Structure 1
């Protein structure tokens, strides 16, 4: 009871306390509040496509790197000498002529 009386006196002395303690009555409410928009779905789809493309580009690049490294090790070529590896792969007939990725 004493606590309730102190709270009532504090509310009368400081009206800001009452304002801060009240819940907001205005704002977005109703059946449409909190629903996702189609733009959010578009953003998620675009992010998913970007992640898949990045994974695909990485896989292509890493596979090419691994294939060249193994070829260089098998033939006793320095793995960092790209010209020698290209020449040896062309002579062996396994050089990859496809366009190289920019990524």
Structure 2
């Protein structure tokens, strides 16, 4: 699996929720990021790595996945969805530019 994706790395340690969004990387690189940035708890690291989309999908603004289970069953970029896990939602995406002046 050498194709690059944007990943979300989530951890919950001691009442603190940590979320990291990677740049486009391979799965192995995402795992290395998690190992480097998620602190150990009882000699183990507790984290979840979730694929968000490919680098191309990220650039196009087409990031469709279920926030509850992570599956990507959605064909349309926008609109209502019903997922197999029971979640329902609405996908709306906007690409914003920030004026840095």
Query: Normalized against structure 2, the TM-score is what?
Result: 0.21
Q: Which has the higher contact order (CA 8 A, sep 6+)?
A: 2
Which of the pair is proportionally richer in strand?
Answer: 2
Higher Cα Rg: structure 1 or 2?
1
Query: Normalized against structure 1, the TM-score is what?
Result: 0.21
